[in-house]
Structures are given as structure tokens and as C-alpha cells.
Structure 1
Amino acid sequence: MEAPVYQNGPQCPVLSKQTMLCVPSVVHIAMTVDPEYLRGTIAAIHSVLKHGSCPQNVFFHFIDLDSSSVDANTYTRVLTSAFPSLSFKIYVFQEKLVKNLISSSIRQALDNPLNYARNYLADILETCIERVIYLDSDTIVVDDIQKLWSINLTGSRIIGAPEYCDANFAKYFTGDFWSNPEYAKVFEGKKACYFNTGVMVMDLGKWRGGDYTREIEKWMRIQKDKRIYELGSLPPFLLVFGGDVEVIDHRWNQHGLGGDNLVNSCRALHPGPVSLLHWSGKGKPWVRLDANRPCSVDFLWAPYDLYKFQQKQPLDRFGFDAW
């Protein structure tokens, strides 16, 4: 389905779509695109535009894997069909950059090279883009994205995200990690807390200046040799940025709604206000809705779904069998 047309409020600056890419007042959002999660990506875009005060001043950066079964032209047709006036660009991420750095994790889905594309945003996006919001495809924004965009990353901080300091931080790393003084000292003198990398505000200018992609790659090489963690792309972020994250209100990542990695496990919303819903975990709302086994939180996702799955019609014109 085509989304409704969402227009800027009167307070928004008038920008030319042709020159938006490097305008500082534009909100830049980066997401990956993948056939399995495309339906979620479309719903996430829809939610951002619906609740944004300046939806026409949002630019989306989509990262496609070079080995994907779907090419960038097909994604372009799908996106422009759903959002004819959307400002976006599709980038191709080279799998070879991480293929030899990825170690197997506790879930096969976490080993997808696209999960590591966020490590390379400073290299992939144009150098004129100094800040970006990274969003996973299983998120829904129910607040004005300008509020998240305007968060100040103070001092030397490069990442802004909600932190969870009551989580057992030690469990994210193996005994071999904690028994090695050289490794463990990375957290010395820091109050390092868990943060979810599915929702981040990132200062790409500072990232480029500190060459943090190489820092993350360093830990991935150690992992390949020593097995110091089990959880895919998250632990390297914790190792590089843990203890130096700009803390964002928890309302901006109500995560774990996918069942906290448990099959057929429904989660309720956390107490308090909500600005962003995140179906991290195995259970995705579109899958559970299609199977007629939804969790109650999945009905919060459904209004943003632009695929009329009830019709059971293949998307032949886009080259897909199904979403």
C-alpha cells in the first residue's frame, strides 16, 4: 500500500529535495534493508513520517548487502511505491569487509553481515553527514523523531543510547575475557552499562576522527582468536563505548518485545512513557500476526504495516514471492 502523504508543519524550514543530503538541519536515519525484514523496515519508515513534526526534512540511508538476493533497484521500486516523495539513498555494503571477522554467535540471525554495517556508517555515508540515527528494522517510532535527533552528545561522547545498568554486564563476555587482565582493563574506572545498538544517535564526525571502526575490528579479531563473547555485533560496541555513552531516556528504546530471544514468549511494555517500540528477540510482529498468534504488543505495530498480508498476493511486480 501507499502511505498517506505526511507534510511539514509551518515551523519547518523549506528545503530542496535535490540538495537535502548535506543540509545540517535534515534528520538523517540509517537502516539496513534485507528481504526478510523489509516489511518491518517499511513499517518503521511509516511510523517516523507519521509522527514527525517535519517529515519532509528526514533523509533515509539504507544499507544493502552486495550478496543480497534482492538488488538496490528493486528496493528503490518498493520504497518509492510505498512512499513516493521519500528522500533516501541506497548504499551497497561489501560483505568482504566483515566476512573474515565474524564469529559464530548464539543465534544464526546475529551472524548476518548486515548486522555489522552499523560499524561502517562513518565510512559508508558521505563525509558531510556528521550525525545519524541508527534504527533496527523491527522498531516503531511513536514520537517526533526531532526530539531524538536534538539530543546533545556531550564532551567526547560519540554514541547516545538508553543504558541499562541493572543488567548483569559480566554475562556479555566469557570467562576467558575476564581472566585476561589486558582485556578486562578496558572497563577500568568506568561505569560500563549495557546499551542496545538497535537504536543509537551517532556522531560520525567524532567517529571518523577517532577511527572507531578500526577499534571495533580489533576486538572482532581478538574474538575470532580467543572467543571472548557470544552475542554477535553487540559486544564490540560495549568494549569500545561502554562507560562513555550519552544516556538517553528509556522511552526511546522499549526493547525486548520480540520475546527476549524466547520462542512464543510475549513481553509487556516496560512501565513509563513510550517513544519507540523495539521487537528485539526472535519474535517479529509481522510473523506472529500472519500466523494468527500475535502478542498484545504486536497490535501496536499493525497500524504501520503497509503490506496487506490478508490478501495473500505475491509481489510479482517487485520480484518477491512474499514478504
Structure 2
Amino acid sequence: MMSMSELNTNMETNKEQLYMELYKKQSKLAWYASERASATLHKAWEKCYALALMAAPLPECEANINELFYARDKRIKRIFPESVNIAYACSEQFAPFCGVSVFSLIANSDKCKNYDILIMHAGNLSELNKKHLCALAAGKPNISIRIINCAQAYIVKECRLRSYFSAEVYFRCLLMTEFFAEYDRFVYLDSDTIINTDISALYNRNISGKSIAAVSDLCMQYLVNSGANLVLNGTLLSYKYYISRFLSLDNSSQYFNSGVMLMDTGKIRTEGLCSKVFAMLQSGDYYCFEQCVLNKVFKNSVERISQIWNVQDITNVYGNCNDHISENTLSHLKWCIPRYKIMHYIGPDKPWYKPDAESSRVFTAYAYGTVWFRTIIYASLADRAEEFLQHYHGRPG
């Protein structure tokens, strides 16, 4: 495997040539000048990714696609009588990172256990990425990967979306519906995670009769403790007021991160909480949409687990947090980082923007073992190229 120094040298040597190649290709994107497409970091990444695919296209793949279509009146069948069940939500632009996460999960799996992996998307996942995702299970009879097309899920059409959120944010809530009724338990994982242990240890955890096991969200703790504000429906609110008034939480440490969850979906369905979640998603306006709704609905049914299962390096987002995060929390985070079981790259500064950075070394090491590595490198170069940014709206050179 390429070392970090070798990777950095390779990128520095070739970046000028790559910048020019990527810049020439940007004018071929018909939608490149779209004002909407340049509105957010996520949209900016879409452009980098599209350019990278032109410069470094994915290899062809002969794997069979195992795809199912979500429908309210159907049920998905289990692959194994007993299995560790894992779910992801993924868009076309995040397919490389979902692939890296799944690759890391499989790399740390137990050959004596079965793993049923479901990857949900909103109908925008390319056939080639579907094949490469399914190919991660090739030659592994104890691992199943299926693609779930959720384009017709009512949640996609009826729930509110801000420009910087995509439909995929809601898909973790679909796991509670009758379509997945043959499954009583899931580990849900965001695509920006790296798994460094056998995920069955989390899946088989005793959660004391609670509906969800999750880790406290450190970003919310920072926002509340720093006195930060948000605008909701045109009204300026403090985060402290928001979690108290809108989510009925006593303090910020109660607010959990939904990017890594163990969900007792059988219990949730039995108690009829699925309909409550969807009603709130459709009727309310929340800061983090489904994450806030889940916090409100399950505030008394969450098993708090160690940060080691969802390491959120908040210092990469806010820098020095000493004044706004408790000393005990920061000390525990510092202890967890080198011992992480799941690394979660929260915030806008994702590892694929700077794959040669020290904080990205874990992600880059796993990415190197996948077909998406070269595409990720090209996309990160496109993001950093000064020439690329100067011509952000696609003006011809």
C-alpha cells in the first residue's frame, strides 16, 4: 500500500497536469454554470466528482446488481436466517465514500458470521457504481450486498428539504417501516464512516430495552455551549432554546448523532412510533431534519454508548473547543481517536478533500484498496485547484 509520503509526493508531482486536465473538462458539463449547483459544499463536491469521473473513469465491472425497489405494500426478504444487518443511505456523488466504508466494514468482518448489507438510494445511483458496490461481496458467501431503490418512497416526495440536504437523510427512518418488517434490528451507518472493528460487536449489544443506541452529538454540545444561533422559519433562535423548546431536551448532552445507530426496529414498529416519526418529518421544520425528529421521539428510549463507536473529531470542525466542550468529554474524545471502532467524519472538512492530510490517513488507507481511489484523488485535486475555483461558474477558458 502507498505510504502517506509517497501519496503526497505523487500528488504534488502530478497536480499541475491534473489541474489543466480537469479544467479543460469542466466546460463539457452542461449544468456546470447552474446557480443551484454551486450553492453548497455538497453541490460543489458534485462538480468535482463529475470532473474526476471524466479524468479518471471507473473501470468496467461484471458483477451482478442485486437491486430491489422500495414499496409501501411490499416486504424485503432476508438473505440469511441469522445475520448482522447493516444499512447505508447513498447518493451517486457519495458512492465512492460509501464504498470505502463498506470495504472497511468487510475488511474487519468475521468469516463465521453472516452480514446483510443494504444500500439505499433515491434513484440516482449509476449502474456502474451499483456493480462496484455489489462486487465488494464477491467471493464472500457470508456477505450479501443489495441495493434498495427508494425513489418512490413517499418520504422522498412529501418531506421538506433544504438546499444543503439531500433526500438520503431520511432513509434511515425507512428502516422502521413494514418494507423491512422481517428485520428486528439494524446498524445504520452514514457513508462518511470508517469501521475498524467487527460491526457485530455493536449489532449484538444489549441496549437495555431501549429503541436506539447512539453516541452524543458533539457538534450540538459545542453550538449550545458557545451561545450560537440558528434561523428557523425566519426566526433567530439560540441552539439552547431550540433543543429545549422544539426537541424537549433538558441539555445538549442528551442530543445524539444519528450517523451511527443501533436500531431496534422491531420494538419501534410494535410501539407504533414509525407513524409518529413520519408525521413529525412532514409537519415540522427542524435544524437537522430526521436527526432532530429522532432525538425528540426517542429522547427517553436511547441507550448512550461510548464515543469510541462514533468518533466525531470536533476539533476538525471548530478548532479549539476547550471553552465550549467539557474537559471530561474532550479528554475522552482524545482517548477514543487512536482507539476508534468507528470514525465518523462529521462537518464539511471531509477526508476526501485532503486525502494526504494526517487526519485523513485512516480513510485514505482503506480507500486505496478500492476501485474509487483514483477518482477520489482526482476529485480532491479538482477541489483544491486555484484555477478550478477561479472559474467556478464554468466560464470557458
- Tell me if both proteins adopt one fold, taking TM over 0.5 as the criterion: yes
Q: 2-side partners of 1:312 and 1:176: how far apart?
A: 39
Counterpart check, 1:210 vs 2:271:
yes
Counterpart check, 1:274 vs 2:340:
yes
Superposition pairs for residues 58-69 of structure 1, below 5 Å?
Answer: 58-66=115-123, 68=124
CA deviation after TM superposition for structure 1 residue 20, in Å: 6.0
TM-score normalised by structure 1 residue count: 0.72
Kept in 1: contact 2:78–2:182 (CA 8 A):
no
Q: How many residues align?
A: 275
* Residue 16 of structure 1: aligned partner: none
Larger radius of gyration: 2
Kept in 2: contact 1:162–1:250 (CA 8 A):
yes
Superposition pairs for residues 77-96 of structure 1, below 5 Å?
Answer: 77-85=131-139, 86-93=143-150, 94=152, 96=154
Distance 1:177 1:214, change over 3 A: farther
Aligned identity (percent) is: 20
Distance 1:283 1:178, change over 3 A: closer
Matching residue's letter, 2:192: D
Deviations 1:105-149 (A, max 9, x none): xxx43x211110111112265322110100000100111212111
Kept in 2: contact 1:47–1:140 (CA 8 A):
yes
Matching residue's letter, 1:203: D
Distance 1:259 1:232, change over 3 A: farther
Q: 2-side partners of 1:171 and 1:312: how far apart?
A: 35
Distance 1:52 1:311, change over 3 A: closer
Kept in 1: contact 2:155–2:170 (CA 8 A):
no
Of 229-238 and 44-53, the range deviating more from structure 2? 229-238
Kept in 2: contact 1:162–1:252 (CA 8 A):
yes
Matching residue's letter, 1:288: K
Matching residue's letter, 2:345: W
* Residue 162 of structure 1: aligned partner: 215
* Residue 317 of structure 1: aligned partner: none
CA deviation after TM superposition for structure 1 residue 213, in Å: 2.6
Distance 1:179 1:21, change over 3 A: same
* Residue 126 of structure 1: aligned partner: 180
Superposition pairs for residues 179-258 of structure 1, below 5 Å?
Answer: 186-187=248-249, 193-224=254-285, 229-256=286-313
Matching residue's letter, 1:287: Y
Superposition pairs for residues 22-171 of structure 1, below 5 Å?
Answer: 22-23=80-81, 25-54=82-111, 57-66=114-123, 68=124, 70-71=125-126, 73-85=127-139, 86-93=143-150, 94=152, 96-104=154-162, 108-109=163-164, 111-123=165-177, 125-155=179-209, 157-163=210-216, 167=221, 168=224
Q: 2-side partners of 1:282 and 1:300: how far apart?
A: 17
Matching residue's letter, 2:145: F
**Secondary structure of the residue that 1:260 maps to in structure 2?**
helix
Counterpart check, 1:297 vs 2:359:
yes
Distance 1:310 1:88, change over 3 A: closer
Kept in 2: contact 1:258–1:283 (CA 8 A):
no
Higher helix share: 2
CA deviation after TM superposition for structure 1 residue 200, in Å: 0.2
Q: 1-side partners of 2:362 and 2:245: how far apart?
A: 42
**Secondary structure of the residue that 2:148 maps to in structure 1?**
strand
RMSD of aligned alpha carbons: 3.8
**Secondary structure of the residue that 1:286 maps to in structure 2?**
coil
**Secondary structure of the residue that 1:199 maps to in structure 2?**
strand
Kept in 2: contact 1:159–1:241 (CA 8 A):
yes
Stretches of structure 1 lacking an aligned partner (at least 5 in a row): 3-18, 263-267, 315-323
TM-score normalised by structure 2 residue count: 0.59
Q: 2-side partners of 1:251 and 1:221: how far apart?
A: 33
Distance 1:202 1:89, change over 3 A: same
CA deviation after TM superposition for structure 1 residue 48, in Å: 1.0
Superposition pairs for residues 2-17 of structure 1, below 5 Å?
Answer: none
Q: 2-side partners of 1:160 and 1:297: how far apart?
A: 27
CA deviation after TM superposition for structure 1 residue 202, in Å: 0.4
CA deviation after TM superposition for structure 1 residue 255, in Å: 1.6
Stretches of structure 2 lacking an aligned partner (at least 5 in a row): 1-58, 61-76, 320-330, 380-397
Matching residue's letter, 1:30: A
Distance 1:28 1:84, change over 3 A: same
Deviations 1:214-256 (A, max 9, x none): 21223234424xxxx3223321111111242112221000024
Counterpart check, 1:309 vs 2:366:
no
Q: 2-side partners of 1:251 and 1:21: how far apart?
A: 30
Distance 1:147 1:171, change over 3 A: farther
